[in-house]
Amino acid sequence: MKIAIFGTGYVGLVTGACLADVGHQVLCVDVDEKKIQNLKNGLIPIYEPGLEPIVKLNVEAGRLSFTTNAEEAVAFGDIQFIAVGTPPDEDGSADLQYVLTVARTIGRHMQDYKVVVDKSTVPVGTGDKVHAAISAELAGRGLSLEFDVVSNPEFLKEGDAVGDFMKPDRIVVGAQSERAVSLMREAYEPFNRNHDRMVVMDVRSAELTKYAANAMLATKISFMNEIANLSELLGADIEQVRKGIGSDPRIGYHFIYPGCGYGGSCFPKDVKALVRTAKDVAYDAKLLSSVESVNDSQKHVLFRKLSEHFNGKLAGRTFALWGLAFKPNTDDMREASSRVLMESLWAAGAKVQAFDPKAMEETQRIYSDKDELMLCGTKEQALKGADALIICTEWKEFRSPDFSYIVSALKEPVIFDGRNLYDPERVQRKGIQYYGIGRGLSI
């Protein structure tokens, strides 16, 4: 099939590369000329495990190409994927300007039937808006061409995006017409060989499914963080509680890790947008609002612990920070807990020596003017002469560090572990003071 994809970010590029990898002809289009030029030169703009080899392979095989020419892309694809950003607007709602710009572009250039697919995460009712935008453009051209708008939200996880796309748990397709469903089946056929993963539903339900999924995952995290905070006050250990509840199959072990708050480009904005959507229909989404506020305060937990430990005297101190990305295996810093922490430390007059396996360039780009931030080439370098070690991201390489080196490199052997990577007793036996999240009396 011939497929056009608008947006070559995390979702668009992974979608394009994976669809090309199973044999489709894919043309990716972006307004960012530098990004497209880099992609044409074989430079991948993001870090995502396994992405670079399949992009290269499919470019070389002639199945994947890149352009800034939207007209060419519209003419090219029988299916037009919209995979552009939907950042939060000032009132928390999803900003649809990029999605609707693409819709108008498609309407301006299309000459025959197209399936237009919303892959971006968009609020319920956006399918109708995309339909209206395309119809208006067609009417302006005096045309009444047939087209269908489909909702096909993306569930990939950054850090495991290629694997998720290649072996999806489900492929949600919200569509009104048989013709569109049949084309979507054809596009996704290669991913359905083992069993049919396509869940076909109406457009609005598909749009809500994506928000419901992310809101559920965010709820699990905020729930665990709330129990972790209670554990501290009650002298219980959240890690033991976690194992105790996870063993119940109705609860399960997945996604119940406490920590210093969730971040990323999806959970914070999608929970906010769903709260906003609820408001628009005069519904007060109390649970979702609490999920958001629990997370906002959880992002300050490490700073509070640091402040208490150092009796409020943080000015002039230097802290080693391991982990900048919002989660492991990505370079994405959007809404990362590390940012809230660093900004609080700087406001208190402290400095940060930071290391992350993949997010150094992105951190440099965001905080290029920050003298209080020193980016270090290794995790060991970040420790040298620091007053304490703080951990914000659970990268594998942080899990079994050389604790005696930590003791020798830090001014004072103390760890603030925002991801509960270590056993408090073992760390304390090595002469290190340890603060975790929800670790009862050991905090």
Residues annotated as catalytic (active site), given as ranges: 266
As a whole number of angstroms, the longest Cα–Cα distance in the chain is 78
- Examine residue 15 and tell whether it contacts ligand NAD (CB under 6 A): no
- Examine residue 231 and tell whether it contacts ligand NAD (CB under 6 A): no
- Examine residue 6 and tell whether it contacts ligand NAD (CB under 6 A): yes
Both structure tokens of 206: 């598909």
* Secondary structure letter of residue 61 according to DSSP: T
Rounded CA separation 238/250 (Å): 19
Rounded CA separation 162/167 (Å): 8
Question: Is 188 annotated for ligand binding?
Answer: no
Which residue lies nearest ligand NAD, judged by its C-beta? 9
Contact by Cβ (8 Å): 138, 145: yes
Task: Name the 3-class secondary structure at 316.
Answer: coil
Nearer to ligand NAD, 154 or 394 (CB): 154
Rounded CA separation 3/116 (Å): 10
Other C-beta atoms lying within 10 Å of the C-beta of residue 368: 8
Both structure tokens of 4: 């056009």
Nearer to ligand NAD, 271 or 409 (CB): 271
Nearer to ligand NAD, 9 or 77 (CB): 9
| Site map 49..88 versus ligand NAD, x via CB under 6 A | ----------------------------------xxxx--
Nearest CA to 342 among 330, 356, 329, 331?
Answer: 356
| Among positions 38, 67, 101, 428, the unique one binding ligand NAD when judged by CB under 6 A | 101
Contact by Cβ (8 Å): 259, 229: no
Other C-beta atoms lying within 10 Å of the C-beta of residue 183: 21
- Examine residue 207 and tell whether it contacts ligand NAD (CB under 6 A): no
Site stretch for ligand NAD (CB under 6 A), options 10-18, 201-209, 245-253, 255-263: 10-18
| Among positions 121, 219, 222, 363, the unique one binding ligand NAD when judged by CB under 6 A | 121
Q: Are strands 351-355 and 433-435 parallel, antiparallel or unpaired?
A: unpaired
| Among positions 8, 152, 219, 337, the unique one binding ligand NAD when judged by CB under 6 A | 8
| Site map 266..295 versus ligand NAD, x via CB under 6 A | x-----------------------------
| Site map 125..154 versus ligand NAD, x via CB under 6 A | -----------------------------x
Helix H or strand E segment including 135: helix 126-140
Rounded CA separation 274/210 (Å): 10
Q: Determine whether 205 is exposed, middle or buried from the number of CB atoms within 10 Å of its CB (0-12, 13-18, 19+).
A: middle
- Examine residue 9 and tell whether it contacts ligand NAD (CB under 6 A): yes
- Examine residue 48 and tell whether it contacts ligand NAD (CB under 6 A): no
Q: How many residues bind ligand NAD (CB under 6 A)?
A: 26
Question: Which residues define the annotated binding site for NAD(+)?
Answer: 30, 35, 86, 121, 158, 269, 334
Q: Which residues make up the interface to ligand NAD (CB under 6 A)? A: 6-12, 29-32, 35, 83-86, 98, 101-102, 120-121, 154, 156, 158, 265-266
* Sequence ranges of the binding site: 30, 35, 86, 121, 155-158, 210, 255-259, 263, 269, 327, 334
